[in-house]
A and B are shown apart, each in its own frame.
Chain A
């Protein structure tokens, strides 16, 4: 494929050049095991420590609160199952209907083995009702797990308020923040978040590395057991190259986070405004205000998402869709359904997610191509007269 316009950064991101440079030595010369007694291996340890500092700096927390994992999904599993294991007398989990599968499937699996699960509904903007949350959290609640920002719509939940409510009731609060980290500033020391998941490949580090932040004093049992790595909280020889890469990516994110709300947001807004203006029956999904600066989710009514994506693909444009056909399942996105997006629109929902590496020329190119694609598919649709 000649030219690629990558507007699918909520799915994964390109590895930043600086990140690749930082990690390469650990795949070549510095291949030692940080647990070794010899200098050759042991010297690697300090690079892991440095990475931990870089990430703690981005999150606004203490180095000792950072645990390296294999990615967002492991962090989510470890957080939820680890807390339940640590407090066997409590049986209730609270989450929302729009979580990523890493959280939702985990919670439902636990429900199937006897835990009580409450899934909070969302309104048409994709927001939960904080009063409902207050009512649901009770003495039996072990953990509340609510995502920071939604991967499909970019909608940001009022996490600080949520964390406060949960803390007041004495339950543990976990947030899956894989979409938020690096896009919006966080300061965990000033929040009531107990556990937070992040994923390297969503912020220009490679796939296969992530972090679980564990606030000091949080009751949690280890999820993966074995050696003494990560102070026995996550066994397994460290993914040194990945960890170094994630540290570097965190440092870059901290340096560039200002751009997210200026450059990236400007590009996103230009794209969104033009599409909504140029295409009939196109609607924005989700809360327009409380939203990640890089994401827009637009429904093109009466046409189907996979057909749109394949048409975009002809021009090298990468996006994603909440349609049934693209998921490999037969149902449209659970997020669209939870928000009450009608079927006419849910099947035709397209997500564009940008990054600081995108350019205005790319946005202009996509704006130019979309109306013809949409019109062609509309002409084929039996729902359009």
Chain B
């Protein structure tokens, strides 16, 4: 059982500012049903540019509800520029702490806030779902930029911590190596295990096809399977690889990125830099 403090329980059982503002100046959404939590934040400014009102709606656990609620309290009465500086750590501090595995709830709060601010700056319109950077964790749709941000702001140094803070690596686990590299990059220590270097020298056509097969079955298929999907290699024509998606990940918020950011990126990484992936036409 989680060890929630009294303040977290109080904000879970009696949350402040639950709901949705009509005609908001900023609206931000973060998370998804598939991921198990989602936060929708709306705010309205007064004539001096300060946040006059903020409301939240959360699908999620106790700490997700508490984080969202206390965050709405924190931003009331301050300017956009001030709100922008709020980090997940500020939210956690205000709550008096969260269990380590629940830190991602505070990060979701911060990210929804940033999405709402971005939406406000773009002018009122559709909710912003910002996808900045390159998707690293396909299970939860977490980008390298988001991972870097939690590492820096929370002074993290293990992959497990990163998973606790932003979920990346918590699904099929195949991106843990990549997360480790991001941590090393930020921590500035280039060390240990060089991820099994399949150095792309000159390959014969047969070797190349075998390597593509292997990469698909070892690196790509497990990712898709974790989401109930699958992939088949149909053909290889020079550097063009034709694949077919099976099963379905259509509900997945990152489906559109799967082709480029997963299939093509992995094949480029492990086979050859010039690979272009296409989906088989029906």
Contacts and interface: CB of A to CB of B under 8 A. Distances in A.
Interface stretch (B53-61, B128-136, B235-243): B53-61
A347 B33 contact: yes
A306 B62 CA distance: 7
Interface string A370-385: 0000000001111100
Given A330-B163, A330-B170, A381 B36 contact: no
A379 B55 CA distance: 13
Contacts of B163: 330
B33 A383 contact: yes
Interface stretch (A63-71, A168-176, A320-328): A320-328
Contacts, number: 77
B61 A307 contact: yes
Interface in A288-324: 302-307, 310-311, 314, 323-324
B276 to A, nearest CB: 32
Interface in B54-85: 57-62, 64-65
A119 to B, nearest CB: 11
Given A330-B140, A343-B33, A347-B33, A383 B101 contact: no
B171 interface: yes
A328 B101 contact: yes
A344 interface: yes
Q: Which of A331, A344, A379 has the most CB of B within 10 A?
A: A331
A258 to B, nearest CB: 35
A305 B38 CA distance: 14
Given A347-B33, A383-B33, A323 B61 contact: yes
B60 A307 contact: yes
Interface string A13-33: 000000000000000000000
A210 interface: no
B59 A382 contact: yes
With most chain B CB atoms within 10 A of its CB, the pick from A326, A330, A379 is A330
Given A343-B34, A383-B33, A304 B171 contact: no
Interface residues of B, number: 34
Nearest to B18: A380
Given A307-B65, A330-B140, A382-B58, A325 B170 contact: no
B72 to A, nearest CB: 12
Interface string B93-110: 000000001000000000
A332 interface: yes
A135 interface: no
B57 A382 contact: yes
A311 B36 CA distance: 18
Contacts of A311: 13
B60 A325 contact: yes
A330 B168 CA distance: 10
B59 A325 contact: no
Contacts of B160: none
Given A323-B36, A383-B33, A303 B59 contact: yes
A337 B251 CA distance: 14
Given A314-B13, A382-B40, A329 B61 contact: no
A302 B15 CA distance: 18
A344 B34 CA distance: 7
A326 B64 CA distance: 13
B29 A382 contact: yes
Interface string A177-188: 000000000000
Contacts of B59: 302-304, 347, 380-383
A316 B62 CA distance: 17
Given A310-B12, A314-B13, A330-B170, A380 B58 contact: yes
Contacts of B40: 382
Given A329-B170, A382-B38, A382-B40, A344 B33 contact: yes
A380 B4 CA distance: 20
Interface in B123-166: 139-140, 163
Most B C-beta atoms less than 10 A away, residue of A310, A323, A328:
A310
A380 B15 contact: yes
A332 B171 CA distance: 10
Nearest to A328: B101
A176 B4 CA distance: 35
Contacts of A331: 139, 170-171
Nearest to B170: A330
Contacts of A330: 35-36, 139-140, 163, 167, 170-171
A332 B36 contact: yes
B92 interface: no
A115 B230 CA distance: 22
A201 to B, nearest CB: 18
Interface of B: 2, 4, 9, 12-13, 15, 18, 20, 29, 33-40, 57-62, 64-65, 101, 139-140, 163, 167, 170-171, 228, 251
23 contacts: A302-B59, A303-B59, A304-B36, A304-B59, A304-B64, A307-B61, A307-B62, A307-B65, A310-B12, A311-B13, A323-B36, A324-B36, A328-B101, A330-B35, A330-B140, A330-B163, A330-B171, A331-B170, A342-B251, A343-B36, A381-B57, A382-B20, A382-B39
Given A382-B39, A382-B40, 7 more contacts: A304-B36, A307-B61, A328-B101, A330-B167, A344-B33, A347-B33, A382-B20
